[in-house]
A and B are shown apart, each in its own frame.
Chain A
């Protein structure tokens, strides 16, 4: 059914599609009709129409940043993760905590490549205290004042709060006072507890993830939201995830972007074949259509490769994600694409768009040399 021709859509699909084209909001049941019954090209063309309504200039943005993982030592043991090292095996499995020296070197390399921010996340380390994170941020901001610190996904913040016996809002306030600029949307996986209890039982619940973001938004920190799909969730769980994000965004408006990406099963404890590219494109397009209150949708070349990410620019994505000077987590699952700034520009231009580097709040920054 869903592989049918775009010229034979059923009346239910056509009715929802017309609603989308009239810029009206669609509800869960309508999203389900599109997701389950519309052809790939109907979904794509609707998503592209929404994208062009929000971003009429055919510009595709990207950020230049580096994923720095301050530690791989983690008590969570999520089944989808190929990166973590359990604390008791830190010695023999290469567990690490980043040193100032190494952190400084990584930031300097980032700046040298025209990077503007660091995305810093890590495992749930049982022994690092909140002061350690505060000191680290203060040091970064003092040493490299121009660098935007985009750090600590909601599960990390919940973990810090539990470890310190503090409220989430106190943790956010302290990190913000130390210099935290924004919060990445990681650790969302699928925002449905039935799924989380299977794939990441030791990580915060869906409602807590959303509550952290809501609180961050109230404290004027912008954040992104992600979705990792293609593991043990159902199609309906994916749609539930989108609506959970939309609901928070209605209240706060604090999400700058939504980033759906596919689970990479290599070296993990979830044995599935990777989500095929057409499945990724359907989810991406549905995200653009449902999340009418989120400005930006990112393509994921890191998981899908440059060719599908290029096509994603016609399935709702207006942003090419990051130049990603360093990436470790997806690479640990055996998937490592590499793109230079010149590659990204070429890919975007060949698709008929103009590339522009941006910062975390999607303001354009001055053109950088194409190295």
Chain B
């Protein structure tokens, strides 16, 4: 049993006491937990922290993903989605009407969040994005627009010759309510230099999020792990997120993203390839929960993790499965094996049978009325 003695034998007595008392763990504590092979001990601590923050709730959202272009000037090595030039086969850019059309062109299921991200396009002006958001908001007034990673914001600022704060002010005025957590990757400069040399630096990424928080735009954050980074790099990343959150307080959710090797140009050391990283994924999610004591939610992104690992991650600190995602492209281009969408009935049942209470949420984690009554389509995708 997971008694205090058990943790003492693992050399984790102090960490055990700190987690039970709700005290902050140090980076050194994080390193000890990463080094611990006892998955039940690490998992139980993360689950305890998760239970204190989120009870037995497992959240999901009905959302739509729109990737407005795959043309990108950044050329990050790990990205299987981007095209360098518009002339390349498969390169595309949506028009404003396409974006609105993508969202309306669906089965009539009510949804609560639109997630719009794309490549750093060489010429699209800020006015294109302002217009996109205005038109989406006009078409779907009650839907939260969550759009543009900090990297895109920095890119818009660069193209326009204005500050990122000015970009954020203009997008907020157009209707931007929330920002996704992408583009954080790993903050350590030596790693960034190798995997995404042209992308925003860690400081810039964190500064943009701090600016968004100051404007009342809440944001998510992420960590891309399982490539060339070290455990120290992961902990450094979590520590920087935690310090930023202490200052600006606007992070809602952290999304641990396992690096998918299949279609990536980034070549890893041979020992990193294979099917053997399941425990590493769960442990990293657990460490996100344990280290990020000031960020309310941890996502178990089933599209990237696969359904079975995502279910299990609900016990390793995660409390949110994201949702029924239509047309997710980036993860699938990288080789994600999961289905493209789950119904709310499937999600509800999966969550219940995993031992949790399903909560359909909006972008801000407020519970929303389930689909059945809202759309009158009970039995066909409407949630019970």
Taking Cβ atoms with an 8 Å cutoff, the residues of A that contact B are 2-7, 9, 14, 17-18, 21, 39-42, 44-46, 48, 273, 275-279, 281, 304-308, 310-311, 314, 339, 342-343, 346-347, 349-352
Contact between A45 and B40 (Cβ–Cβ < 8 Å)? yes
B6 at the interface (CB under 8 A from A): yes
Contact between B39 and A314 (Cβ–Cβ < 8 Å)? yes
Distance (Å) between the CB of B120 and the closest chain A CB? 33
* Of B140-148, B193-201, B307-315, B368-376, the one touching chain A: B307-315
Instruction: A42 to B3: give the CA distance in the assembly, Å.
Output: 10
* Residues of B with C-beta under 8 A to A275: 353
Which of A17, A46, A276, A350 touches B279 (beta carbons < 8 Å)?
A: A350
* Residues of A with C-beta under 8 A to B360: none
* Of B43-51, B94-102, B125-133, B150-158, the one touching chain A: B43-51
Which secondary structure dominates where chain A touches chain B? helix
Contact between A276 and B308 (Cβ–Cβ < 8 Å)? yes
Which of B48, B275, B355 touches A343 (beta carbons < 8 Å)?
A: B275
Contact between B277 and A350 (Cβ–Cβ < 8 Å)? yes
Distance (Å) between the CB of B54 and the closest chain A CB? 11
Distance (Å) between the CB of A301 and the closest chain B CB? 9
Instruction: A308 to B349: give the CA distance in the assembly, Å.
Output: 20
Closest residue of chain A to B309 (Cβ to Cβ) is A307
Which of B20, B48, B349, B354 touches A278 (beta carbons < 8 Å)?
A: B354
Contact between A6 and B44 (Cβ–Cβ < 8 Å)? yes
Distance (Å) between the CB of A6 and the closest chain B CB? 4
Count of residues in B whose CB is under 8 Å from the partner chain: 39
Q: A277-B308, A343-B275 are in contact. Are A21 and B1 (CB under 8 A)?
A: yes
Instruction: A41 to B355: give the CA distance in the assembly, Å.
Output: 13
Contact between A40 and B315 (Cβ–Cβ < 8 Å)? yes
Taking Cβ atoms with an 8 Å cutoff, the residues of B that contact A are 1-2, 6, 20, 37-41, 43-44, 47-48, 51-52, 56, 274-282, 306, 308-309, 311-312, 314-315, 346, 349-350, 353-356
Which of A41, A277, A305, A306 touches B2 (beta carbons < 8 Å)?
A: A41
Closest residue of chain A to B46 (Cβ to Cβ) is A41
Closest residue of chain A to B315 (Cβ to Cβ) is A40
Instruction: A210 to B258: give the CA distance in the assembly, Å.
Output: 45
Instruction: A295 to B353: give the CA distance in the assembly, Å.
Output: 30
Contact between B309 and A277 (Cβ–Cβ < 8 Å)? yes
Contact between B279 and A310 (Cβ–Cβ < 8 Å)? yes
Contact between A314 and B309 (Cβ–Cβ < 8 Å)? no
Closest residue of chain A to B351 (Cβ to Cβ) is A276
Which of A18, A21, A276, A306 touches B311 (beta carbons < 8 Å)?
A: A276
A-B contact pairs, 25 of them (CB 8 A): A3-B56, A5-B47, A5-B48, A5-B51, A6-B44, A7-B2, A7-B20, A9-B1, A21-B1, A41-B41, A41-B43, A42-B44, A45-B38, A45-B41, A45-B44, A276-B308, A276-B311, A278-B354, A305-B306, A307-B279, A308-B312, A314-B38, A342-B274, A350-B279, A351-B37
Contact between A48 and B40 (Cβ–Cβ < 8 Å)? yes
Which of B40, B48, B282, B314 touches A44 (beta carbons < 8 Å)?
A: B40
Contact between B355 and A2 (Cβ–Cβ < 8 Å)? yes
Contact between A45 and B311 (Cβ–Cβ < 8 Å)? no
Output the residue of A6, A17, A306, A346 with the most chain B CB within 10 A. Answer: A6
Contact between B282 and A311 (Cβ–Cβ < 8 Å)? yes
Which secondary structure dominates where chain B touches chain A? helix
What is the total of A-B residue contacts with beta carbons within 8 Å? 133
Contact between B278 and A6 (Cβ–Cβ < 8 Å)? no
Q: A14-B1, A311-B282 are in contact. Are A306 and B315 (CB under 8 A)?
A: no
Which of B2, B306, B308, B350 touches A6 (beta carbons < 8 Å)?
A: B2
8 other A-B residue contacts (CB within 8 Å) besides A5-B48, A17-B1, A40-B355? A44-B39, A276-B350, A277-B312, A278-B355, A339-B275, A347-B276, A350-B279, A351-B37
Instruction: A135 to B275: give the CA distance in the assembly, Å.
Output: 41
Instruction: A275 to B312: give the CA distance in the assembly, Å.
Output: 12
Closest residue of chain B to A272 (Cβ to Cβ) is B349
* Residues of B with C-beta under 8 A to A306: 275-276, 278
Q: A275-B353, A276-B354 are in contact. Are A311 and B279 (CB under 8 A)?
A: yes
Instruction: A342 to B355: give the CA distance in the assembly, Å.
Output: 35
Closest residue of chain A to B50 (Cβ to Cβ) is A5
Distance (Å) between the CB of B344 and the closest chain A CB? 13
Output the residue of A21, A277, A350 with the most chain B CB within 10 A. Answer: A277
Instruction: A276 to B307: give the CA distance in the assembly, Å.
Output: 9
* Residues of B with C-beta under 8 A to A40: 43, 47, 315, 355
Which of B41, B280, B308 touches A308 (beta carbons < 8 Å)?
A: B308
Instruction: A349 to B56: give the CA distance in the assembly, Å.
Output: 33
Output the residue of B6, B51, B306, B308 with the most chain A CB within 10 A. Answer: B308
* Residues of A with C-beta under 8 A to B47: 5-6, 39-41
Q: A304-B308, A347-B276 are in contact. Are A278 and B315 (CB under 8 A)?
A: yes
Instruction: A342 to B270: give the CA distance in the assembly, Å.
Output: 12
* Residues of B with C-beta under 8 A to A4: 51, 56
Distance (Å) between the CB of B355 and the closest chain A CB? 4
Closest residue of chain B to A349 (Cβ to Cβ) is B276
Closest residue of chain B to A338 (Cβ to Cβ) is B275
Closest residue of chain B to A9 (Cβ to Cβ) is B1
* Residues of B with C-beta under 8 A to A48: 38, 40
Contact between A273 and B41 (Cβ–Cβ < 8 Å)? no
* Residues of B with C-beta under 8 A to A311: 39, 278-279, 282, 312
Contact between A347 and B309 (Cβ–Cβ < 8 Å)? no
